[in-house]
Amino acid sequence: MHLTNDRYTLGGVDMLSLVEEFGSPLYVYDAATIERQYKRLDTAFAGIEHHIKYACKALTNVNILRFVRQIGAGLDTVSLNELQLGLKAGFEANDIVYTPNNVSFDEVKEAIALGAQLNLDNLPMLEKLGQAYGGSVPVSVRINPHIMAGGNEKISTGHINSKFGISITQVDDIVRVAEKYGLDIAGLHMHTGSEIVDTDIFLQGAQILMEAGRRFKTIRFFDFGGGFKVPYKADDKETNIEELGSRLSALCHEEMKQRGSNFYICLEPGKYLVSEAGMLLARVNVVKQTPATTFAGVDTGLNHLIRPMFYKAYHDITNLSNPHGAVRPFSVAGYICETDNFAWERDIADIREGDVLAFHNAGAYGMMMASNYNSRPRPAEVFIVNGKAHLIRRRETLEDLLRTQILLDMSA
């Protein structure tokens, strides 16, 4: 976002004009930022054959998926619907990874029929795969390396108490099942969590994964997941992608010497690609002074952006309508009948009724975790491509809320 002639722009488009045209609240995504992030990651890992699979649970609007495919990424999916959305967006099935968790085997069979790359994370499912398909379906196995990464248990998925993956202590059991059914273990996978800034922790997990891979002669790739941290405010920490790319590439080449065979690697960025590309724009309904604070009440809430309440996530807030206003503390709160504070005593340019605020880093897990709580409709979405704003999802209406409800004949 840039301030030019006292107006904030994103991707060359005036942001206040977007609210005037499409209303508020409004999700806005910038294609150029997504492409910048992809190219940075792609360049960082130039030292080794790598495949970048966008973790689409971060944002699955089909237009975003089409753009991600256009710039060269594959897809990482966690549900059958995500897989099918990927196919509708034009991805080839063999360029889509399907990594389910606690699903039925019927869903796994459907994914196999669609031709996706299978990545399973529990022993009972591997057994069922072997019983039904033998070694005819290549499979990757998700390993839990027992590493705490990402800061807390809500965003860390590789620690010992996590529901994800097969414990690193159970590799013998994976070998047993693989040998019993002649499974084709094509790769090993890990995802240790989100917000990883310590390169050493990431490399520790990679080393554990590759050592486990020595038990399987059919390995063609290692999938190291994602979780790369992006900055949320000025001077915030972020993953040093260039350092990680250089060090991980070197570690993999050493492992290839050990194995006496080559492999490629996969990376699964989600938030890294789309977080900074997204903004949630909201209008201020009321400015309310209390003995404790000054509230700026906006026309959105946890129904549209739950991350601050669910994860205690920080989102920078800019007053688009008053760029040069005197900075003073405001508590920004939503319009939901719950405590849905986005920020408490945050220094923001003076907020007035009717001003438009921009919530930064809203591209990942914003719209995707939105709901109709309090019977509020979900926002519209706009995608800025080559300096032009495109509506890619219309705002919901009351009719949309009623569409799947079936009215009973109460007189019967």
Domain boundary among the residues 219, 244, 272 is at 272
Whether residue 49 sits in one domain with residue 166: yes
Q: How much is the pLDDT for 368?
A: 97
- Tokens standing for 295? 């509230």
Residues 26-47: b if buried by 16+ CB within 10 A, e if exposed: bbbbbbebbbebbeebbebbee
Same domain, 201 and 219: yes
193 neighbors 237 (Cβ within 8 angstroms): no
My answer on whether 370 and 238 are in the same domain is no
Domain that holds residue 72: 45-272
Q: Which residue from 307, 399, 378 is spatially nearest to 24, judged by alpha carbons?
A: 378
Q: What are phi and psi of 319, to 5 degrees?
A: -85, 100
Does a structural domain hold residue 244? yes
156 inside domain: yes
Q: What is the pLDDT of residue 194?
A: 62
245 and 170 in a common domain: yes
Q: Are residues 180 and 294 in the same domain?
A: no
Q: Which residues are catalytic?
A: 337
Convert the pLDDT of each residue in 123-181 to its tens digit.
Answer: 999 999 999 999 999 999 999 998 855 554 544 444 566 788 999 999 999 999 999 99
Q: What is the pLDDT of residues 219-273, one digit of tens each?
A: 999 999 999 999 999 889 999 999 999 999 999 999 999 999 999 999 999 999 9
Tens of pLDDT, residue by residue over 261-315, are 999 999 999 999 999 999 999 999 999 999 999 999 999 999 999 999 999 999 9
Instruction: Please state, for a pLDDT cut of 70, what percent of the chain lies above it.
Output: 96
Q: Is 334 inside a domain boundary?
A: yes
Domain boundary among 272, 304, 322: 272
Output the domain CATH number for residue 335: 2.40.37.10
Distances (CA, A) of 333 to 28, 206, 308: 20, 41, 11
Same domain, 298 and 395: yes
E-state strands within 268-401: 278-289, 294-298, 317-319, 327-333, 341-349, 356-359, 380-385, 388-393
pTM for the model: 0.94
- What one-letter code names the amino acid at 407? L
Would residue 39 count as lying in a domain?
no
Taking residues 314-342, report their average pLDDT: 97
